[in-house]
Amino acid sequence: MMLKRLLSTLALSLAILPMLAAGENDIKDNDFNPVNTGVTTLSITPDARGSAMGNLGAATDPDMNSQFWNPSKYAFAYSTGGLSISYTPWLRKIVNDIFLANLAGYWKLGSGDNQALSASFRYFSLGEVSMSNQDSGYDGVMQTINPYEFAFDVGYSRKLSEKFSMGVVLRYILSDLSYEDAYSGDTNTAASAFGADISGYFVTYPMVGRNECQWSWGFDISNIGSKVSYDHGATYAFLPTNLRLGTNFMFPLADYHTLAFGLDLNKLLVPTKPRLKDFESTPEGEAAYDEALEKWETMSPISGIFKSFTDAPGGFAEELKEINVSFGGEYAYNQQFFVRAGYNYENASKGGRSYFAFGAGFSLNVVQLDASYMLATAQSSPLDQTLRFTLTFDMDGLRDLLGRRNR
């Protein structure tokens, strides 16, 4: 049979990854209930700094990649502007042609240094996919396709006080997994959607002993938007709408030495898809399941956000399991040399994508290079040994360099 559902499966490939990451013996089948979404690549961390701290960034110091973590941080950025390029070979233990590339940057507006314009572009390539049709009696490759997903967004952030800022991002998303089955005539179309982010960032400077420290808080609600469909509107999938809450505390160790620790909590604001096994013991049985499934499929994204806090089959205890925890730290010497480490925890019943992360960075006046490495807690995880690289350019440093050359 022609693999006519192949690309639909690829669209949900990251939803299947949690099952692989958790391991076959980690949990019982009845307990495994991850939240299903479309365009799951939007949830992949693009940059090396945030991933090196265990997927942390809601309240860390502003950097060029704040567009993904919390765009409101740009209003507190120290430089006039910057640009970042990141590259991640994805699932490198399984294939060698899947990758995520990300371009992000910002520019401060006006003379008051209290607002910023930002943008990012992320491109996820699913590599080369060969398709065949065994039902036709032909076992060879009938066509080769190159599915991909990308998202482009622009954002605006502004200080509302000396300590607090907010930001908004508008995003266009395209998931091109389209193909045409020459044997059956079935087609799979590209899916597009629009989304938005709303974020806030608060920072204060408490005194601990004789040292001035920095304590910050942040939130980001990302990918609030329309649904996506790959089959001409027959079925729809929710975007990975996510709530991120975080705090970060940075303090000086000595001259030129600083240490920061942060904590992020993440929860998908997506309703849990009904399972038939949860209705088998009820009097209505399959009829009740069909009704619940229809409500889930026709539910609006905004209704889904509110429903996501109360719809888990296991009640409040299961809702708590949907919260992912990231904890990490960053040591900096003179803001030129950085060492980072962190841990990301996801409950086994919701995916089990738990891992340790490590990374380092080196900065000059103009350029900074960061790298990170992921070490999964489950040996069977395809995410194990994931590498990320980020190259950033500071516009103030570039301007100073050009100014010195022109003297």
pLDDT at 132: 62
pLDDT at 112: 73
Distance separating alpha carbons of residues 285 and 291, to the nearest angstrom: 10
Instruction: Tell me how many domains the chain contains.
Output: 1
Distance separating alpha carbons of residues 69 and 246, to the nearest angstrom: 10
DSSP H helices in 284-328: 286-298, 301-307, 316-321
> Closest by alpha carbon to 326, among 309, 341, 304, 311?
341
pLDDT at 9: 40
Direct distance between the N- and C-terminal alpha carbons of the chain, in angstroms, rounded to an integer: 71
Write the CB contacts of 185 (distance below 8 Å, at least 6 apart in sequence): none
Instruction: Specify the pTM.
Output: 0.87
Distance separating alpha carbons of residues 32 and 364, to the nearest angstrom: 47
pLDDT at 215: 97
303 is a domain residue: no
DSSP sequence for 130-187: EEEETTTTEEEEEEEE--EEEEEEEEEEEESSSSEEEEEEEEEEEEE--EE-TTT--E
Report pLDDT digits (tens) over 154-179. 999 999 999 999 999 999 999 987 66
Could you tell me if residue 312 is left (phi over 0), alpha (psi between -120 and 50 degrees) or otherwise beta?
Answer: beta
108 is a domain residue: yes
294 is a domain residue: no
Q: How many helices (H) and strands (E) does the chain have?
A: 8, 20
pLDDT at 395: 87
pLDDT at 45: 95
Here the CATH number for the domain that contains residue 316 is 2.40.160.40
Report pLDDT digits (tens) over 345-392. 999 999 888 999 999 999 988 999 999 999 988 766 777 889 999 999
Phi, psi of 294 (to 5 degrees): -65, -40
Which structure tokens are listed for 180?
């045409």
pLDDT at 407: 56
1 is a domain residue: no
Q: What is the 3-state secondary structure (H, E, C) of 41-86?
A: HHHCCCCHHHHHCCCCCCCCCCCCCHHHHCHHHHHHCCCCEEEEEE
Distance separating alpha carbons of residues 283 and 279, to the nearest angstrom: 8
348 is a domain residue: yes
Residues of the chain with pLDDT under 50: 1-26
172 is a domain residue: yes
- SS3 of 30, please? helix
336 is a domain residue: yes
144 is a domain residue: yes
Distance separating alpha carbons of residues 138 and 393, to the nearest angstrom: 52
Host H or E run for residue 386: none
Cα 336 to Cα 56, 79, 317, 390: the distances in Å are 20, 15, 44, 15
Write the CB contacts of 407 (distance below 8 Å, at least 6 apart in sequence): none
Distance separating alpha carbons of residues 311 and 295, to the nearest angstrom: 12
CB 352 within 8 A of CB 22: yes
Which structure tokens are listed for 23?
């391991």
Q: Which domain holds residue 249?
A: 6-272+308-406
